[in-house]
């Protein structure tokens, strides 16, 4: 009898409360804009945060309410912008400028020397906090993969030589790796640019760079002298090539004794 | 009677503070105390829910469970009441006050499983409170909860600006602070306790 009573009581309570909730859900229903869900489905849903909102659903809400601009989704690119515009019924403003991440360091394990052996937490940020990092070059890649772990698109991986490699097909240019790199070695660049670049970030004097790394830019300025376009500037013992001016003539490549002027990585953009 | 109520208020807020003395509902104590604003919001929600929950659970206990001699079912019955109540509050709040709903965010659904609320409901039954005492105890316990949250938030806001060892930053110093506040409140139990 006890059994039936307790069953009836708990079941009855559950039934009453369930009914009450069902009634309340109807009575106090909040009408949500159906477009929010539609737009959210069209987004990449990687929740990468490149648009500046905490996730795809918040971006969808903001874009419907007009607080976010329709072309804020960087990973989605033009295609997503077009789709979003179609849902919202506005003229598409999407421009096709795929961006990708590029790593500005050449210091693989065998050419960039270590100051000491590091056995701590295997994260770049942790390694950097310990004695300023274990690499002799105070600008070089520590190779512990902070950038790899934050990539929502699996577009960056750690090669065996200790440097991260960007898969340009998968990279969307969301910039999470840029924020994750404690040494600021990753930049977001225009995917379709051509020309040469110097993948080094060392601002040390030539001698110091030479001692720390076999492939660091020593800033002797020889490349700048031969460049017919005057696209190369040397500042803080580091050569930078202006991709706007560079016409890919290749004069600078033999001028560099350290052989570190490279072609910018090519990516096939799907239109 | 009046003295009794005053004693309940004193004990519930200070001496036997639900958070600092009985350690119920510690999740929001760590979770929403980053800023005073959010902790006040959470505190108000707890005051609201705890008072209603105390009343409803008291009614259910005394008019449903006791007459049928099913007092041993109170835990499950109270869980049922509280979880439905929180959902109801959530639905109503979403419609009537979206700003508060958004400010409370994840912590309103988390209140479904906030043991402080269940704790107050069960303590009321254990201490044989009448309906007035129940209401007073519910409100006072929730106020005590809010005070603890606000004190913690105030300290944490200042801690953010302090230059301290990276080893202690974040969770470490928060837990130490919680322990110290708790010990300070222990002093009140020398005056009166339940």
Tens of pLDDT, residues A183-235:
999 999 888 888 889 999 999 888 899 889 999 999 888 999 999 988 999 99
- Contact list in B for residue A125 (CB cut-off 8 A) is none
Query: Buried b / exposed e across A182-204, counting CB within 10 Å, b at 16+?
Result: bbebbbbbebeeebbbbbbbbeb
Distance (Å) from the alpha carbon of B124 to chain A's nearest alpha carbon: 20
C-alpha B120/C-alpha B135 separation (Å) is 10
- Choosing among B61, B70, B74, B96, which should be mutated to test the A contact, i.e. which has the most A CBs within 10 A? B70
Per-residue pLDDT at A39: 87
Total residue length of chain B: 194
Contact partners, residue B124, CB within 8 Å, separation at least 6: B54, B57, B58, B133, B134, B137, B138
Q: Is the pLDDT of residue B173 over 70?
A: yes
The CATH number assigned to the domain with range A34-88 reads 1.10.15.40
C-alpha A166/C-alpha B171 separation (Å) is 35
Q: What is the pLDDT of residues A21-32, one digit of tens each?
A: 999 888 887 777
- A/B interface, count of CB pairs below 8 Å: 45
> Residue A112's beta-bridge partner residues?
A213
pLDDT band at A267 (very low <50, low <70, confident <90, very high): low
For residue B108, give the nearest of B122, B123, B92 by alpha carbon: B92
- Choosing among B53, B75, B91, which should be mutated to test the A contact, i.e. which has the most A CBs within 10 A? B91
Per-residue pLDDT at A103: 92
CB-neighbour burial class of residue B128 (10 A; exposed 0-12, middle 13-18, buried 19+): exposed
- Contact list in B for residue A9 (CB cut-off 8 A) is 64-65, 68, 70, 73, 77
Q: Is the pLDDT of residue B110 over 80?
A: no
Closest-CA residue of chain A to B73: A6
CA contacts within 13 A on the Cβ side of B50 = 32
Contact partners, residue B101, CB within 8 Å, separation at least 6: B90, B93, B94, B108
CA A137 to chain centroid, in Å, comes to: 23
Closest-CA residue of chain A to B94: A30
A156-158/A164-166 β-pairing: antiparallel
Range of the domain at B168: 2-190
- Contact list in B for residue A30 (CB cut-off 8 A) is 94-95, 98
For residue A219, give the nearest of A200, A232, A236 by alpha carbon: A236
Q: Do A30 and B64 touch (CB under 8 A)?
A: no
Q: What is the pLDDT of residues B22-42, one digit of tens each?
A: 888 888 888 878 888 878 878
Q: Is the pLDDT of residue A271 over 50?
A: no
Rg (CA), chain B: 17
C-alpha A33/C-alpha A63 separation (Å) is 12
Per-residue pLDDT at B106: 64
Which residues of chain A are in CATH 3.30.70.20 domains?
97-192, 193-265
DSSP classification of residue B190: G
Distance (Å) from the alpha carbon of A56 to chain B's nearest alpha carbon: 17
For residue B118, count other CB atoms closer than 10 A to its CB: 22
| Contact status, residue A158 vs residue A142, Cβ threshold 8 Å | no
Total residue length of chain A: 271
From first CA to last CA, the distance across chain B in angstroms is 16
Q: What is the pLDDT of residues A63-77, one digit of tens each?
A: 888 888 888 888 888
Distance (Å) from the alpha carbon of A199 to chain B's nearest alpha carbon: 33
For residue A59, count other CB atoms closer than 10 A to its CB: 26
How many domains would you assign to chain B? Answer: 1
- Contact list in A for residue B59 (CB cut-off 8 A) is none
Per-residue pLDDT at A269: 52
Please give the C-alpha separations between residue A40 and each of A57, B2, B140, in angstroms, as whole numbers: 6, 58, 44
Identity of the residue in A14, A25, A129 whose CB atom sits nearest the CB atom of B80: A14
| Contact status, residue B145 vs residue B46, Cβ threshold 8 Å | yes
- Average of per-residue pLDDT across A91-106: 81
CATH class of A97-192: alpha beta
Please give the C-alpha separations between residue A136 and each of A5, A26, A159, in angstroms, as whole numbers: 77, 66, 20
The CATH number fitting domain A193-265, selected from 3.30.70.20, 2.40.50.140, 3.30.9.10, 1.10.1740.10? 3.30.70.20
> Residue A102's beta-bridge partner residues?
A187
- Average of per-residue pLDDT across A119-129: 88
- Contact list in B for residue A129 (CB cut-off 8 A) is 166
Block residue for tokens 């307790």: A6
- Choosing among A8, A10, A31, which should be mutated to test the B contact, i.e. which has the most B CBs within 10 A? A10
Distance (Å) from the alpha carbon of A74 to chain B's nearest alpha carbon: 27
> Residue A165's beta-bridge partner residues?
A157
The phi and psi torsions of A114 (rounded to 5 degrees) equal -100, 145
For residue A154, give the nearest of A121, A177, A188 by alpha carbon: A177
Secondary structure of chain B: what % helix, strand, coil (to 5)? 80, 0, 20
The phi and psi torsions of A181 (rounded to 5 degrees) equal -75, 115
Q: What is the pTM assigned to this prediction?
A: 0.54
């Amino acid at each position: 009898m006890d059994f039936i009573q307790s069953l009836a009581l708990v079941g009855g309570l559950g039934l009453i409360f369930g009914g009450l909730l069902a009634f309340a859900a109807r009575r106090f229903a909040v009408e949500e804009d159906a477009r929010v869900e539609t737009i959210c489905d069209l987004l990449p849903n990687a929740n990468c945060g490149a648009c500046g909102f905490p996730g795809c659903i918040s971006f969808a809400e903001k874009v419907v309410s007009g607080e976010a601009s329709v072309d804020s989704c960087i990973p989605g690119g033009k295609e997503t912008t077009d789709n979003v515009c179609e849902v919202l019924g506005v003229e598409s403003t999407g421009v096709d400028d795929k961006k990708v991440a590029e790593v500005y360091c050449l210091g693989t394990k065998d050419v960039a020397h270590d100051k000491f052996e590091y056995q701590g937490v295997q994260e770049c940020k942790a390694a950097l906090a310990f004695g300023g990092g274990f690499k002799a070059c105070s600008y070089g890649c520590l190779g512990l993969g902070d950038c790899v772990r934050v990539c929502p698109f699996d577009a960056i991986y750690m090669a065996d030589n200790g440097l991260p490699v960007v898969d340009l097909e998968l990279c969307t240019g969301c910039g999470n790796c840029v924020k994750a790199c404690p040494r600021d070695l990753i930049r977001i660049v225009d995917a379709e640019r051509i020309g040469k670049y110097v993948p080094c970030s060392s601002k040390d004097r030539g001698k110091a760079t030479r001692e720390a790394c076999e492939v660091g830019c020593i800033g002797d300025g020889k490349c700048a002298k031969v460049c017919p376009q005057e696209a190369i500037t040397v500042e803080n013992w580091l050569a930078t090539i202006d991709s706007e001016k560079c016409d890919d003539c290749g004069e600078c490549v033999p001028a560099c004794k350290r052989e570190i002027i490279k072609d910018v990585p090519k990516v096939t953009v799907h239109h | 009677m009046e003295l009794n109520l005053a004693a309940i208020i004193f004990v519930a807020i200070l001496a036997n503070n639900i958070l600092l003395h009985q350690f119920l509902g510690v999740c929001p104590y760590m979770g929403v105390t980053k800023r005073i604003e959010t902790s006040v919001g959470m505190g108000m929600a707890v005051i609201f829910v705890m008072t209603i929950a105390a009343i409803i659970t008291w009614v259910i206990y005394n008019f449903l469970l006791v007459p049928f001699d099913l007092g041993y079912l109170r835990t499950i019955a109270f869980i049922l009441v509280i979880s439905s109540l929180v959902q109801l509050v959530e639905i109503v709040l979403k419609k009537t006050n979206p700003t508060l709903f958004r400010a409370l965010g994840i912590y309103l659904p988390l209140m479904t499983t906030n043991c402080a609320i269940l704790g107050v409901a069960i303590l009321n039954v254990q201490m044989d409170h009448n309906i007035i005492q129940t209401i007073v105890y519910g409100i006072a316990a929730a106020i005590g909860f809010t005070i603890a949250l606000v004190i913690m938030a105030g300290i944490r806001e200042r801690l953010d600006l302090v230059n301290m060892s990276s080893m202690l930053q974040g969770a470490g110093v928060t837990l130490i602070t919680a322990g110290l506040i708790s010990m300070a409140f222990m002093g009140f139990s020398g005056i009166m306790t339940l």
